[in-house]
Structure 1
Amino acid sequence: MEKWQNSDTLLIWVVIIIGVMILLVGTLIGVFYISYKKVLRSKDEELKAKMEYQRSLLKVSLEAQENERMRIAADLHDNIISKLTIIRLKAVMGSRLQELDQLLGTAIDESRRISHELLPPLYEEKSLDDILLTVFKSWIKVYSIKHTIDVRTEKLIDKSIKLQTVRILQELLNNIHKHAKATHIHLMLRITDYCVVMLVKDNGMGFDTNCIRKGIGLKNIDSRAENLHAQYKYKSVKEKGTRFILFVTHGEDKTSIIR
């Protein structure tokens, strides 16, 4: 009998082979375990980052709501209460009815604008383009405004898209009013079967998009765009104005046109 055929030798070889196989299996298990831990760690870090971002958006949203309340309170005080006080004084002084009527008309217009900002009329029933135009036209006494509307579908727009898009437009108009020193604003809107594209341009002082810090207004827009899974982009030139474009998908085709 050959030496390698000896039972003791065969047993040694079997033990060696089994040992090698166990080592290989152990090594593979170790590699897979390390890889699995890395994947779990990566997902955990991604989840933490996402939760932190969501907390940041929630904080911004709450701050924006508080600022909005303060702005509305200021509007009521400065534009409505002050005008009503003037009307009351002029009525006591015996001013002409025509003058009082003109002041009342201005107060009513301001009240209507504030009301529309809080909740556009017939919100559920009206189309998105009608709601946006109602909001936009409320600034007609402050700016020279122009609008271009291109509706290529009869498809109903989800109410959440309506609400967030309207709020984004309101935020843009308020930002223009506070910072841009513009005299003209142009709203362009296109609605198709699968997307809503809104472009807002002004002829204001512009800003450096590389240096600007995101204030509450811009963060509020960011939060609402995130809620819609939408994309947006600013382009601004100092002393030449700013343009803002928002792209919202509401159909099956998710191709973005923002570059």
Structure 2
Amino acid sequence: MGLVLLLASCSTRIESAPPFSIFPNKDYTPEQAWAIADTIPEYRIEFNPGITRDQWWLGTSITNNSDSIQELLFVPNNPHINRILVFEDQSSLPKFELGDFQSFEKRPFIDRDLVIPITLPPASTKKYLILLDKVGETFHIQPELVDFQTFYQMKSDDTLIMGLILGWMCIIFIFSIFFAIELKTWTGAIYGAYVFSISLWLATHWGLTFQYLWPSQVDWVAMARPFFNLLTNILILLLVVKFFPPKTTGKFTAKLIWGILFIQLGLLLAILFPIGILENIDFKVSFLQFTLIVSLLTNILLIFYSYQQWKANVPLAGYYLIGIAFLALFGIVLQLNQKILPMGLPHYLVDFGSAFGLLGETGIITAAFAKRASIFKKEKEQLTIEILEKEKQVADQLIQVQEDERQRLGRDLHDSIGGMLASLFIKTESISDKYPNVPLGEFKQLIEQSIQEARSLSHNLTPHHLEENGLENVLKQQIGLLRQKYPIDFNFYFQINSPINKSLQLILYRISNELLQNIVKHAHAQEALLSIAEQDGKIELIAEDDGKGIDQTSTSQGIGIKNIRERVNYLKGNLTLETNQSGTTITIIIPLHAEL
């Protein structure tokens, strides 16, 4: 859309260009300037001397062929002229005085551009002599003479284009902040600062900052454009070397980039803390020319360094190469046109050419950041997967160690303690037979209970027949033993039709057994339920009792609950605990095909 408006406006504005004469000011008085202007034909419609050391007198004649008063506006199309004096019809006193050396509100017509209002009586011709002061700076004018309706239509088009461009830059700035936060890297922040700086440079170039941000800071107006230009160059240089550190190639070029960066930092400080260099015209021109050379070197180094990284197959270097080359093409042409080699480019291209270049550059570089964010996200996901796999390996090893230790303890209980208790029971039987009068019944009963407890512990530690008998039968057997030992009415429900691998069966057994042990040891319950069922690809395990409940204010809910939570988390499941004085319900949901 911007390009369409650009072409359309260029084609229509040529018709409103008033012819004029122009000559350098050699300390002429207005009377002398009037005399000289009368001898020079008015044939120019555009003037671009590049960096000028002179003030310039512009002469033009404006005719009203109508029978009514005509209100017109003379627009030089350069919002950065330091001082303008407007003389009318051989007058030696200026009718208007305006420019950047005066505060914004003193302009005879309030607009970002320097606009001169003109009133023509019916059927009349007026001559105007305008002194233009742009000494020590680039000077380019392509005046237009329009009525108010045409002017406001032109400004509407300009405002639309500037709004689209600055709106785009705001979006890019928001994206850059997002990238800085997402990527957790300084390159995103540097890119955001670059976008912000170049947006301010654009607004300053168009005269918007003088109108809205610093309308009374006349000393700063002349310094703002070179300041933001240098700051933008510094930030883009810093961005490139930080985005593509010279690990394999381009180390010498990177050193040159750092050198140019510090040179521009010195120029920036010279603007911020003036030491009189900009007050002398010759020094000011030299300073501007040197700044131009440094800017050209900046573009060349950026393109060359990006090319080196691209040739070295550095990821995303191609994006920067295309983006920077896109902007550099516009920038070099405009710099040459303004300061070294005038090409007769229309002022509209001078005003908005850099902006269109920036649209392309920021779009491409933002695409590079988006690509990097995508790569970073994938790398982060891959790293997360690797960490989870490592954690799983560690957890598997820990569980295996626990199971090995349980099996060892179970064997020791069964083979050693169980065997010793069995031998002790046989000896007791032998003593009882030999000495029938010795009361050993209670002693024998304690030994039988110890043997039974040892077998129960051994069974809990090593469920030998889990794989052969299945989880349901082993749990039935375990609950049957608990019914014999404790006055609790146990209910058991099991409904799983899908096959369960051995590891998951073992963990479900451990969890179930831990829940059952908690009930018999701590709940003081009269009735309890253990339910294990398959539902929607998940296993739902419910342990419920009518006991005294669990103290939620306690700092610890016991090692048993902690172990259960760890096992459930290992299986990527979740555990819900509901408890009060009337009992406790623990609900565990585990994926049926949990990765083990």
| Residues 549 and 584 in structure 2, CA contact (< 8 A), matched pair in contact too | yes
Alignment correspondent of 1:257: none
Q: Show CA shifts across 1:223-249 (max 9, x none).
A: 2112222232222113x3322222233
| Residues 476 and 492 in structure 2, CA contact (< 8 A), matched pair in contact too | no
Establish whether residue 149 from structure 1 lines up as the match of residue 493 from structure 2: yes
Establish whether residue 112 from structure 1 lines up as the match of residue 450 from structure 2: no
| Residues 406 and 462 in structure 2, CA contact (< 8 A), matched pair in contact too | no
Of residues 522, 529, 535, the one that matches 1:187 is 529
Alignment correspondent of 2:540: 197
3-state secondary structure, aligned to 2:344: helix
Of residues 467, 470, 476, the one that matches 1:124 is 467
Measure how far apart 1:212 and its partner are: 4.7
Relative to structure 1, the CA distance from residue 177 to residue 66 in structure 2 (aligned partners, 3 Å threshold; closer, same or farther) is farther
Establish whether residue 249 from structure 1 lines up as the match of residue 581 from structure 2: no
What TM-score does the superposition give when structure 2 sets the normalisation length?
A: 0.33
3-state secondary structure, aligned to 2:492: strand
Gaps of 5+ in 2: 1-10, 15-44, 47-141, 143-341
Superposition pairs of residues 162-181 of structure 1, within 5 angstroms: 162-178=505-521, 180-181=522-523
Q: Larger C-alpha radius of gyration, 1 or 2?
A: 2
Task: Determine the C-alpha separation between the residues in 2 that align with 1:177 and 1:138.
Answer: 12
Measure how far apart 1:91 and its partner are: 5.0
Superposition pairs of residues 11-90 of structure 1, within 5 angstroms: 13=349, 16-17=354-355, 19-22=357-360, 24-25=362-363, 28=366, 32=370, 87=425, 90=428
Amino acid paired to 2:511: I
| Residues 525 and 546 in structure 2, CA contact (< 8 A), matched pair in contact too | yes
Task: Determine the C-alpha separation between the residues in 2 that align with 1:22 and 1:244.
Answer: 60
Task: Determine the C-alpha separation between the residues in 2 that align with 1:241 and 1:35.
Answer: 51
Amino acid paired to 1:232: L
Give the count of matched residue pairs: 246
Q: Show CA shifts across 1:34-91 (max 9, x none).
A: 966996898799889979x989979x9799889979x979x89xx9699669747845
Alignment correspondent of 1:256: none
What TM-score does the superposition give when structure 1 sets the normalisation length?
A: 0.64
Amino acid paired to 1:118: L
- Which stretch has the larger CA shift, 81-90 or 217-226? 81-90
Relative to structure 1, the CA distance from residue 47 to residue 218 in structure 2 (aligned partners, 3 Å threshold; closer, same or farther) is farther
- Which stretch has the larger CA shift, 193-202 or 121-130? 193-202
Task: Determine the C-alpha separation between the residues in 2 that align with 1:20 and 1:131.
Answer: 73
Q: How much is the aligned-residue C-alpha RMSD, in angstroms?
A: 4.9
Alignment correspondent of 1:9: 345
Gaps of 5+ in 1: 253-259
Measure how far apart 1:196 and its partner are: 3.0
Task: Determine the C-alpha separation between the residues in 2 that align with 1:67 and 1:216.
Answer: 18
Task: Determine the C-alpha separation between the residues in 1 that align with 2:588 and 2:509.
Answer: 12
Residue identity (%): 18
